[in-house]
Structure 1
Amino acid sequence: MTGAVATLPTRRDEAWRYADMDGVARLGAEALEQWEEIAVAAGESLMRCFIVGSDAPELHRFRVTLGEGATAAFFVTNAGRDYTRVEIEVRLAKGAHFEFGGVTIGGGDATREFVTQVVHAEPEATSNQTIRAVHWNTGTGNFLGEIKVARDAQKTDAAQDFKGLLLEAGASANAVPQLEIFADDVKCAHGATVGELDESARFYMMARGLDPAAVQRLLVQAFIGDAFVALDDEGEHERLLDAALAALEGAKL
């Protein structure tokens, strides 16, 4: 009896709808089978802060199980210069909390994406996801986020917030928030907006002597800062923010 042969996804798969399929092919089917399994015991806490992205395709996949009253927080800067995908699947027990803050940023023609699935399996769990995307040239930022609330998961409180900022006309940002709710006493919210820099704010700041590059940096910094508001570690906060702003330095806008 032979084992199952790993196959590449296609855009018919909802979770790969906006992916760079050439980048996926260069990763190879075997890479899609590699998950980091994380279990956070009841009452325990986990925090992960990391920067992803290089000149080659990258795929980072996590499966996280939270015990009763456990918490997990992931904060990520995705500044890949090739296809870069971070995927997180989370299952929450009673009273658990999941926090996610992510930034995709860059130009060129690269696709950078976050894909999350948060399963509220038991009552009184909470989750919050804040994603910011900043892109220029023909760069793309994607967020596909699914929240599932089981029938017995009453008192669930779950939220997603995606905002995209396009610095040039050729860039794009895609958001696919999905809710699947079987309980009736829940709070679930999601929002998705895409826009451009506030020209009135840019004009105001330049009129007071700031050069265009400094103005752009300050406005972008304010925009992406929301993704890391829940990150209390000042050193990690600065590291993730600096990595995002470093990607902006190379932009000729």
Structure 2
Amino acid sequence: MTVTALPTTREEDWRYSDAEFLKQADPVVIHNWRTVTVLAGETVREVQNYLPVDHPDGVMERVRVHVGAGGRFESFATLAGNHYGRVEVEVTLEDGAHFEFGGVTLGGGDSVQEFVTRTKHAHPNATSNQVIRAVQWGKSVGNFLGRIEVARDAQKTDAGQNFRAILLEKGATANTKPELEIFADDVLCAHGAAIGQLDEQARYYMAARGIPPHIARKLLIQAFIGDAFAELDDAEQREAMLDHALAALDAGAM
């Protein structure tokens, strides 16, 4: 693909994207990759809340990360309410490096939000963990495309992906496409996915104890999306992420 060409939904990595957005997008923005280098033994953490008030024209964030031996890169992000939002992270891990990713999509109307990750376990002993949660209503779409590549010499790799979505209304959609490409034989690689509605049994249990339905719903969603930020060990940042997510829900679906 040339720098002037725009991707289309016929391409695998863009299959669930918003076709109309892509037709009108600026090629320079689409093809702009930010680069991050994590030196050996160091830790870099990025925490982002992509909210409509800050990104009225949508979100397009693409970042390439190289993590040195024994280094750690953490990325936590919320995509909420933009007509189209895409956060794409491509990470290459050296010996003993770690990649931690936690993402939440929140959307109503006809919005589309997606996380796309590509994790390259290029050397032995590297680990990665990705937890994505989607809460969709209206006719919105929440997507996760995650690819894990394990090179032939990358023994002792331990990689995992977990995607779950709650659809609050009929018409909302969630899509996931996990991919594992493994050439080493001494590895642990796993992925899981589940798409459904709020736990009605839990709502009934809470209602039976006098908790109003709207409060019960909010508490259940808070616990659900909190999984994505569980590995964020800064309590203040973690609470701020949850507050932003719940505020987006209050403005839309609650």
Cα contact 1:53–1:82 (8 A) shared by 2: no
Q: 3-state SS of the aligned residue for 1:190?
A: strand
1:174–1:5 CA distance, 2 compared to 1 (3 A) = closer
Range that drifts further, 7-16 or 50-59: 50-59
Cα contact 1:72–1:98 (8 A) shared by 2: yes
Q: Does 1:32 align with 2:33?
A: no
Match for 1:227: what amino acid?
A
Q: 3-state SS of the aligned residue for 1:232?
A: coil
1:16 maps to which residue?
14
2:173 maps to which residue?
172
Structure 1 residues 143-222: aligned runs within 5 Å? 143-222=144-223
User: What is the CA–CA distance in structure 1 between the aligned matches of 2:42 and 2:253, rounded to whole Å?
Assistant: 45
1:228–1:5 CA distance, 2 compared to 1 (3 A) = closer
2:42 maps to which residue?
44
Cα contact 1:27–1:57 (8 A) shared by 2: no
Cα contact 2:71–2:97 (8 A) shared by 1: yes
1:236 maps to which residue?
237
Q: 3-state SS of the aligned residue for 1:162?
A: strand
Match for 1:150: what amino acid?
A
Q: 3-state SS of the aligned residue for 2:161?
A: strand
Match for 2:251: what amino acid?
G
Offset of residue 251 of structure 1? 3.4
User: What is the CA–CA distance in structure 2 between the aligned matches of 1:143 and 1:204, rounded to whole Å?
Assistant: 31
1:67 maps to which residue?
68
Offset of residue 208 of structure 1? 2.0
Q: What is the TM-score when the length of structure 2 is the normalising length?
A: 0.95
1:98 maps to which residue?
99
Q: 3-state SS of the aligned residue for 2:6?
A: coil
**Structure 2, unaligned stretches of length 5 or more?**
none
Offset of residue 250 of structure 1? 2.5
Q: What is the TM-score when the length of structure 1 is the normalising length?
A: 0.96
Match for 1:64: what amino acid?
V
Offset of residue 5 of structure 1? 5.0
Q: Number of paired residues?
A: 250
Range that drifts further, 22-31 or 162-171: 22-31
Offset of residue 24 of structure 1? 2.2
Q: CA RMSD in A?
A: 1.2
Match for 1:136: what amino acid?
W
Identical counterparts, % of pairs? 54
Range that drifts further, 92-101 or 26-35: 26-35
Offset of residue 252 of structure 1? 4.8
User: What is the CA–CA distance in structure 1 between the aligned matches of 2:250 and 2:3, rounded to whole Å?
Assistant: 43
Range that drifts further, 16-25 or 132-141: 16-25
**Structure 1, unaligned stretches of length 5 or more?**
none
Q: 3-state SS of the aligned residue for 1:161?
A: strand
Cα contact 1:206–1:215 (8 A) shared by 2: yes
User: What is the CA–CA distance in structure 2 between the aligned matches of 1:237 and 1:157, rounded to whole Å?
Assistant: 25
User: What is the CA–CA distance in structure 2 between the aligned matches of 1:182 and 1:56, rounded to whole Å?
Assistant: 41
Q: Deviations over 1:158-206 (max 9, x none)?
A: 0000001100111010000000011111100000110100111112212
User: What is the CA–CA distance in structure 2 between the aligned matches of 1:157 and 1:129, rounded to whole Å?
Assistant: 12
Q: Deviations over 1:85-133 (max 9, x none)?
A: 0000000000000000000012111000000000000000000000000
Q: 3-state SS of the aligned residue for 1:205?
A: helix
Cα contact 1:93–1:125 (8 A) shared by 2: yes
Offset of residue 23 of structure 1? 1.7
